[in-house]
Amino acid sequence: MTRPVIPSIESLADELTDKAVGPVFGIPGGGPSLELLDALERRGVAYVRTHFEGCAALMAGTMGRLSGEPGMCLSIKGPGLANMVSGLAASALEGFPLLAVCEAFPRDTDWTVRHKGMDHPGLTSAVSKGCFGIAGKRVVENAVALAKAEVPGPVVLNLNDEQAPPTPVTPETSVLGPVIKQIEIAKRPVVIVGSLAARSVWASRLESLAVPVFVTAAAKGALDEGLRYSAGVFTGVGLEHTPEAKIVPQSDLVIGLGLRAGEVLAAKPFECSAVNVDTIGSDQGFEFLASAQCQILDSVFDALDAFDWGSDLVADVVTSLDNRLRSSGFLPAHALAAIQRRFAGQVRGVFDTGNFCTIAEHIWRPAHPNHCLMSGKGRYMGTALPMAIAAAEYDPSVPTVAVLGDGGIGMFLAEARLAVERTLPLLIVLMSDGGFGSVRGRALKDGLTQAPLIINDPSWLIVLEGMGIPGVAVNKEEDLSTALEAWVPDSGPSYVEISFDPDAYQEMIIGIR
């Protein structure tokens, strides 16, 4: 049997230059990965040398999320790919498309001569859409198509390996009739939109709907949240003060557009009937009366055009929530509002996970899907900083604000040096309550130990200044506003450390989550 021919580094570089987007992120070795970098550099592809392979993968995935085309990262075999797994996992959870190219032994290499060799397919099976070689025809083209296909995610390509990625399969389509029938007999429908909207041609039609429209956290920005029918975020666990708790019970039909169980914190049954349309079929996490698998949703939007209800309800509920979140002393709600005011809404927020992110889901109201990034599905701590660096690299015309908590700021802090080296318009904001606030809430509730959750000295100010990032510590809104006014994005990164009262920090999510 004739073995497939592994293409040359030069031809692979041609394909990757043509198909992948943005710079290549990673840490090279001295073998084929370095040769590939050399070939890519000669083709004008920029290279960003990260400090950790996991960050390289997440940065490439962020490029994919923002552009719609897979980003690219690079590593050595074995330990290099093992380090990359965390970034592959975060990208897989969030549905970010990327190509991870890594050195590898040929599959038939005897294990006795595989220095630092590892089982790459086994290692990446849970955090990628597949691990393949580069032999055969249209390898990169098929890998890109696989990475972009719903649900998007990472694809691993092994240098020196032969097993090629599969040819893409066209999604099936089912009839919309049963869904349309439920819409036509409804009186007060609401719509819940998943992250699919940010990747679909029908997203623009959301703005014309005259019914309450929710988005999942992963879909924030798919609908301009300044519109009068935009009801904010749907999490499945929102408590009595949230729009979802006040509006959905007044509906007689929930219409999901790409509504998937993985994009909410709990896929509970709705009190009324529910239907869903998706490109990958019905999500079994919800109980839908009718569902359809379809790419073109014109008939769904045409049926929804007959409705006009809920604008006053949405306005009252959203205003009530805003007033509640800002009624007490200085807290994250005030800080996030100040940031959006400073830039008149033309700012990209990138949020780590924590209590402040729960507030951001409701207070941060982007007008564009690229103006909000968060680990909306994975709730993956520490990812905000590498995501924000990649976002600022992708589009430096929009100031980027990375919002982190005490738990997440230290994980990948070394990557902040990239923002200095590349003079990125990045503001790093630490929202500190002196510990692991969201976990501390569980400890307080159940009478468990708080000792592992308290940080005696939570400040990172000296560390960031040592990296060449000027910073300031504040604990009042007027001081924050002064710091925001002083930052000139074109001058490069800056740091603001905000300290909050830890007890008030706990209380701010009461009735929200």
Report yes or no: 222 and 304 within 8 Å, Cβ to Cβ: no
Distance CA 91, CA 383 (A): 10
Question: Is 3.40.50.1220 the CATH number for 177-314?
Answer: yes
> Is residue 4's pLDDT more than 60?
no
Average pLDDT over residues 204-212: 95
Q: How far is CA 229 from the centre of its chain?
A: 24
DSSP state of 133: E
Q: Report the pLDDT value the prediction gives residue 419, as an integer from 0 to 100.
A: 98
> Is residue 39's pLDDT more than 70?
yes
Residue 230 contacts by C-beta under 8 Å, 6 or more apart in sequence?
A: 213, 223, 224, 314, 365
Report yes or no: 161 and 134 within 8 Å, Cβ to Cβ: yes
Q: What angle do CA 443, 444, 447 make, to 5 degrees?
A: 75
Distance CA 291, CA 257 (A): 10
> Is residue 264's pLDDT more than 60?
yes
Q: Report the pLDDT value the prediction gives residue 283, as an integer from 0 to 100.
A: 63
Label the pairing between strands 24-26 and 47-49. parallel
Report yes or no: 200 and 216 within 8 Å, Cβ to Cβ: no
Tokens 């007689």: give the residue.
Answer: 252
Q: Report the pLDDT value the prediction gives residue 58, as an integer from 0 to 100.
A: 98
> Is residue 458's pLDDT more than 90?
yes
CATH number corresponding to 9-158: 3.40.50.970
Taking the CB of residue 340, how many other CB atoms lie within 10 A of it?
18
Label the pairing between strands 400-405 and 348-351. parallel
Distance CA 310, CA 74 (A): 49
Tens-digit pLDDT profile for residues 323-358: 999 988 999 999 999 999 999 989 999 999 999 999
Task: Decide: helix, strand or coil at residue 17.
Answer: helix
Q: Which residues pair with 74 in a beta bridge?
A: 26, 101
What residue type is 420 in one-letter code? V
Predicted model pTM: 0.94
Domains of the chain, by residue range, sit at 9-158, 177-314, 328-507
Tens-digit pLDDT profile for residues 398-411: 999 999 999 999 99
Distance CA 466, CA 479 (A): 23
2 band by pLDDT with thresholds 50, 70 and 90? very low
Number of H helices, E strands in the chain: 18, 18
Superfamily per CATH, domain 328-507: Thiamin diphosphate (ThDP)-binding fold, Pyr/PP domains (3.40.50.970)
Average pLDDT over residues 306-318: 97
DSSP state of 392: H
Distance CA 306, CA 329 (A): 44
256 band by pLDDT with thresholds 50, 70 and 90? very high
Q: How far is CA 137 from CA 15, 32, 247, 484, in A?
A: 11, 20, 53, 52
Taking the CB of residue 284, how many other CB atoms lie within 10 A of it?
11
- Nearest CA-CA partner of 186 in 306, 12, 339: 306
Task: Decide: helix, strand or coil at residue 158.
Answer: strand
Provide DSSP, 24-68. Answer: EEE---SSHHHHHHHHHHHTT--EEE-SSHHHHHHHHHHHHHHHS
Tens-digit pLDDT profile for residues 155-199: 999 987 767 777 777 777 888 999 999 999 999 999 999 999 999
465's tokens: 């200044």
Q: Report the pLDDT value the prediction gives residue 65, as an integer from 0 to 100.
A: 96
Q: Report the pLDDT value the prediction gives residue 255, as an integer from 0 to 100.
A: 97
What is the chain's mean pLDDT, rounded?
92
- Nearest CA-CA partner of 438 in 496, 327, 323, 351: 351
Q: Report the pLDDT value the prediction gives residue 1, as an integer from 0 to 100.
A: 40
DSSP state of 69: S
Report yes or no: 275 and 174 within 8 Å, Cβ to Cβ: no
3 band by pLDDT with thresholds 50, 70 and 90? very low
Classify 233 in phi/psi space as left (phi over 0), alpha (psi -120 to 50) or beta. Answer: beta
Distance CA 96, CA 93 (A): 8
Report yes or no: 121 and 129 within 8 Å, Cβ to Cβ: no
Provide DSSP, 376-420. Answer: TTT--TT-HHHHHHHHHHH-TTS-EEEEEETTTTTTTGGGHHHHH
Q: Report the pLDDT value the prediction gives residue 107, as an integer from 0 to 100.
A: 66
Tens-digit pLDDT profile for residues 98-150: 999 998 776 666 666 666 777 889 999 999 999 998 877 788 999 999 999 99
Distance CA 77, CA 105 (A): 8
438 band by pLDDT with thresholds 50, 70 and 90? confident
Average pLDDT over residues 294-322: 95
Q: Which residues pair with 155 in a beta bridge?
A: 99
Report yes or no: 72 and 25 within 8 Å, Cβ to Cβ: yes
Q: Report the pLDDT value the prediction gives residue 173, as an integer from 0 to 100.
A: 82
Report yes or no: 199 and 69 within 8 Å, Cβ to Cβ: no
225's tokens: 């949240």
Q: Report the pLDDT value the prediction gives residue 469, as an integer from 0 to 100.
A: 98
* Least confident among 39-43, 77-81, 107-111, 238-242: 107-111
